[in-house]
Amino acid sequence: MSETLIEVVDNAGIVRLTINRPKALNALNSNVLAELERVLVELEGRDDLRAVLITGAGEKAFVAGADIGEMRDKTPEQARAFGRQALATFKRLETLPVPTVALVNGFCLGGGCELALACDWAVASDNALFGQPEVLLGVIPGFGGTQRLPRRVGPAMALDLCTTGRKIDAAEALRIGLVNRVMAQSELEAYGEELTQQLGGNGPQAVRAAKQAIHDGLEQDLDSALALETALFAFCFAGDEQKEGMSAFVEKRKPSF
């Protein structure tokens, strides 16, 4: 039987995905990308989905990049197809309707950093290292890094990272806004669990609306985006969640969503 490249653990709609190629530091080859896409397509159709966490197997790496061995002999046409395959897969991840968390447990380089950038959250262990080292290999980021990195950390720092190829530690990644939190490695797993439970325990319709307002709003001019916010805010009042959330507050009890 072939190795499971993406391990899936589903706990009542809180789904944990583990990229499972630890001997190659979870490098993304076309098989891993195809399997990730297959799993994401299944998740897209799930009404009970609450949160998705993605991490890398082993102690050393989240993902050390796209698979360099596989890329080495590619023609420009094959490279284009590889880039498109990853972009399509990462787009599915980015547009899942629920919060997505990259739990970065070590090296987070090249395509690995680009994978983390396609998630809403990045939580890193204190020994994690980040970077876009593609120029050291004679290429540029091809899985979205030149576009999502400047949107996350600003163009100056994105240019710095993409043209020097230097690696930054978790503290610097936190300072520039590439990650949301840094945890001791021994506490990372427990924090990932706590965070996804917290995200999954909030009103699911409201959480989805918040994600949609922010993601879709960023693609629009401010007035259109503010109108989108108003529409989604009003939409929240159409379901049971808002009644339950506000009644629970007034009745001094915990809401049950």
Cα-Cα-Cα-Cα torsion 218, 221, 223, 228, nearest 10 degrees, comes to -40
The type of residue at 62 is F
CB of 92 to ligand HXC, least distance (A): 17
- Measured in whole angstroms, the distance separating CA 75 from the mean position of its chain's CA atoms is 29
- Please say which residue, 145 or 192, places its beta carbon nearer to ligand HXC: 145
CB of 8 to ligand HXC, least distance (A): 23
**35, 37, 114, 241: which one is catalytic?**
114
Residue 87 contacts residue 143 (beta carbons within 8 Å): yes
The site for ligand HXC (CB under 6 A) is made up of 24-25, 27, 64-69, 82-83, 107, 109-111, 133-134, 137, 141-143
With CA atoms as reference, report the closest residue to 46 among 103, 92, 115. 92
- Please say which residue, 146 or 242, places its beta carbon nearer to ligand HXC: 146
CB of 139 to ligand HXC, least distance (A): 6
Sign of torsion, CA 172 69 86 59? Answer: negative
- Please say which residue, 26 or 196, places its beta carbon nearer to ligand HXC: 26
- Please say which residue, 6 or 66, places its beta carbon nearer to ligand HXC: 66
CB of 82 to ligand HXC, least distance (A): 5
- Please say which residue, 99 or 142, places its beta carbon nearer to ligand HXC: 142
Residue 172: active-site member: no
Exposed, middle or buried, 145 (CB in 10 Å: 0-12/13-18/19+)? Answer: buried
Strand duo 168-169 + 6-11: pairing: unpaired
Phi-psi region for residue 213, left (φ > 0), alpha (ψ -120 to 50) or beta? alpha
Distance CA 243, CA 250 (A): 11
CB of 66 to ligand HXC, least distance (A): 4
- Please say which residue, 19 or 109, places its beta carbon nearer to ligand HXC: 109
With CA atoms as reference, report the closest residue to 97 among 53, 51, 54, 55. 51
With CA atoms as reference, report the closest residue to 143 among 187, 85, 188. 85
Residue 134: active-site member: yes
CB of 90 to ligand HXC, least distance (A): 11
**37, 42, 94, 134: which one is catalytic?**
134
Instruction: Tell me the catalytic residues.
Output: 114, 134
